[in-house]
C-alpha cells in the first residue's frame, strides 16, 4: 500500500461491517493519493500545457472558434459525448494517465465539475490553438502559455487548501509535466498570416519560438516542476489540411512546414541539453519526446498499424474540415474511424493517439526512474 498509510492494528472486537468500512476508507485513500498497484513509478499526478493535441476541453469555456464541444467530436468517447477533446474519443494524455495507473482520464482545469480527487491526480491547462508565440494565442483568443502558467499558480493554491502544504509540495515536486505546442505557431501564425513572415525567415522565427519555449521551461521549473517531458512538433506538412491547402494537386506533404518542425525539434533538443547543465535545473528530469517520427511512421506506413487511410480525415471530405467545419449538420463521418489515422483534417483519431501514447510509455517511462 502507499508509504503514507501506516499499519493499523485491528482489534479482535471488530465485526464484519467494521472491516468493510475500514477497507473502503483505506482503498479510497490509496486511490486518491495516486498509489494504485499499476502506478509503478510513484507519479502522483500528471499536468499538461500546450495546444489542441492535449486540450481535453479548456476551450469550451472561452469565446473562441477553436473548440469542438459538439458532435461528431466525441463520437467514440465514453457515453458518446463531445467533451471538447479534438478527436473522436480519448487523447494521448488520457492514455498516459491510465498507463501510469493514475486514473482513466485527464480532465481540463477549467471544468466546473472538478473534484478534489481530480486536483490531486492532475489536470490539463492546455488550450487548443495556442503556441509559444504570444501572437498565436491572441489571434484565436485562447489561453497563452503564460496564461497556462498563471492557471497552474492558481491550481497550486487550491491544492494546498485541500491537501495541506506538505502534501501539495510533494505532488507538485514528484508529478510529471508534459509540454506540447508549436504547431499553430508555424501553420497559422507564420505561414497563414503576414504578421511574422514579413519580419522573420523560417530559421529566425524558429529561434524566436525556441527562446519562448526555453523561457516557459525555466518558469515551469521555478514553479516547482522537476519531471518534465517536452514534446516536439509533429510532421505538420503531412496533416490532411496542409496537404489540401499547399500540397498541390496530388496533396503531397508540404516540405517547408515539415522542415520548420524538424528545425524546431533539433534546436529544442540542443536547448534541453543546455538547460540540463544549468544550476537551476539540477535534480530535474527534462526529456525531449519525439512525436515527429512516430506520427510520420503512422502516415507513411498506415497498414503496419492497421490503418487504411492517412491522407484524409474521417470527418466530412477529410480534406479541410476541422473544429466548426466538422459538425454533425454539414459533415458526415467515415464508416469506420479505426481505419483512419486522422479524425478531422488536423487531429488524430483515438486509435492513433493510443498508438502514440503506447510508444511514449514504452520509450520514455524509464527516464523517470
Write down the pLDDT at residue 369: 83
What spatial distance separates the first Cα and last Cα of the chain, rounded to whole Å?
Answer: 19
Instruction: Render pLDDT for 41-76 as a digit per residue (tens, 0 to 9).
Output: 589 999 999 999 999 999 999 999 999 999 999 999
Q: Which residue has the higher pLDDT, 10 or 167?
A: 167
Known active-site residue 80: no
Q: pLDDT tens-digit profile of 215-271? A: 999 999 999 999 999 999 999 999 999 999 999 999 999 999 999 999 999 999 999
CA distance 309 to 317: 13
- Asked if 155 and 113 count as a contact pair (C-beta separation under 8 A), the reply is no
What Å distances lie between residue 262 and 228, 269, 314, CA to CA? Answer: 21, 11, 27
β-bridge mates for residue 30, sequence order: none
Cα–Cα distance between 17 and 36 in angstroms, integer? Answer: 24
Kindly compute the dihedral angle of the four CA atoms of residues 201, 202, 207, 209, in this order, to the nearest 10 degrees: 110
What residue spans define the domains of the chain? Answer: 41-291
Q: Quick one: CA torsion of 211, 215, 221, 223, rounded to 10 degrees?
A: -160
Q: Is 362 noted as a catalytic residue in this protein?
A: no
Residue 38 confidence (pLDDT) above 70: no
CATH 2.60.40 assigned to domain 41-291? The reply is no
Q: State residue 5's pLDDT score.
A: 37
Whole-number Cα distances in Å, 289 to 75, 177, 282: 29, 12, 20
52, 87, 124, 345: which is the annotated catalytic residue? 52
pLDDT in tens, 334-343: 999 999 999 9
| Active site annotation includes 185 | no
**Segment 104-161, tens digit of pLDDT:** 999 999 999 999 999 999 999 999 999 999 999 999 999 999 999 999 999 999 999 9
* Catalytic hit among 144, 175, 241, 347: 347
Asked if residues 240 and 311 have their Cβ atoms less than 8 Å apart, the reply is yes
Is it the case that residue 33 has pLDDT exceeding 50? no
**In terms of pLDDT, which residue wins out, 88 or 27?**
88
For residue 34, name the pLDDT band (cuts at 50, 70, 90): very low
DSSP 8-state symbol, 11 = P
- Give the side-chain half-sphere CA count within 13 A for 136: 30
Question: Is-above-0.85 flag for pTM?
Answer: yes
Residue 10 confidence (pLDDT) above 70: no
Cite the DSSP H helix spans in 141-283: 145-163, 165-174, 183-184, 194-197, 202-222, 240-246, 255-276
CA–CA dist 192, 136 (Å, integer): 11
Q: Of 55, 241, 344, 345, which is the active-site residue?
A: 344
Q: Which helix (H) or strand (E) holds 300?
A: helix 292-300
Strands (E), the chain: 46-50, 176-180, 227-231, 285-289, 309-313, 340-342
Q: CA 219, CA 221: separation in Å to the nearest integer?
A: 5
Per-residue pLDDT reduced to its tens digit, 180-218: 999 999 999 999 999 999 999 999 999 999 999 999 999
Amino acid at each position: 500500500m502507499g508509504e503514507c498509510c501506516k499499519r493499523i492494528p485491528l482489534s479482535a472486537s471488530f465485526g464484519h461491517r467494521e472491516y468493510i468500512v475500514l477497507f473502503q476508507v483505506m482503498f479510497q485513500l490509496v486511490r486518491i493519493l495516486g498509489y494504485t498497484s499499476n502506478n509503478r513509478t510513484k507519479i502522483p499526478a500528471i499536468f499538461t500545457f500546450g495546444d489542441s493535441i492535449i486540450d481535453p476541453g479548456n476551450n469550451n469555456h472561452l469565446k473562441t472558434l477553436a473548440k469542438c464541444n459538439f458532435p461528431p467530436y466525441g463520437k467514440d468517447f465514453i457515453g458518446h459525448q463531445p467533451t471538447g477533446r479534438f478527436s473522436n474519443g480519448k487523447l494521448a494524455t488520457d492514455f498516459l494517465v491510465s498507463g501510469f495507473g493514475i486514473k482513466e482520464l485527464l480532465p481540463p482545469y477549467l471544468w466546473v465539475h472538478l473534484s478534489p480527487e481530480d486536483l490531486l491526480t492532475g489536470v490539463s491547462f492546455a488550450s487548443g490553438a495556442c503556441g509559444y508565440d504570444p501572437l498565436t494565442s491572441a489571434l484565436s483568443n485562447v489561453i497563452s502559455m503564460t496564461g497556462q502558467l498563471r492557471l497552474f499558480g492558481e491550481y497550486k493554491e487550491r491544492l494546498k487548501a485541500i491537501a495541506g502544504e506538505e502534501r501539495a509540495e510533494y505532488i507538485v515536486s514528484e508529478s510529471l509535466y508534459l509540454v506540447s505546442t508549436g504547431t499553430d505557431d508555424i501553420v497559422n501564425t507564420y505561414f497563414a498570416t503576414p504578421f511574422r513572415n514579413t519580419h522573420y525567415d523560417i530559421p529566425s522565427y524558429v529561434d524566436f519560438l525556441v527562446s519562448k519555449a526555453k523561457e516557459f521551461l525555466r518558469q515551469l521549473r521555478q514553479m516547482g516542476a522537476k519531471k518534465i517531458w517536452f514534446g516536439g512538433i509533429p510532421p505538420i506538412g503531412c496533416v490532411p489540411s496542409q496537404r489540401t491547402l499547399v500540397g498541390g494537386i496530388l496533396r503531397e506533404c508540404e516540405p517547408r512546414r515539415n522542415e520548420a518542425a524538424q528545425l524546431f525539434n533539433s534546436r529544442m533538443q540542443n536547448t534541453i541539453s543546455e538547460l540540463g547543465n544549468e544550476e537551476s535545473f539540477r535534480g530535474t528530469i527534462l526529456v525531449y519526446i519525439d512525436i515527429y517520427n512516430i506520427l510520420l511512421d503512422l502516415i507513411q506506413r498506415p497498414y503496419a498499424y492497421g490503418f487504411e487511410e492517412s491522407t484524409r480525415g474521417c470527418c466530412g471530405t477529410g480534406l479541410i474540415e476541422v473544429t466548426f467545419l466538422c459538425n454533425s449538420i454539414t459533415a458526415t463521418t467515415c464508416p469506420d474511424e479505426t481505419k483512419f489515422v486522422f479524425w478531422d483534417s488536423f487531429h488524430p483519431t483515438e486509435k492513433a493517439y493510443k498508438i502514440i501514447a503506447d510508444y511514449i510509455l514504452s520509450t520514455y517511462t524509464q527516464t523517470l526512474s
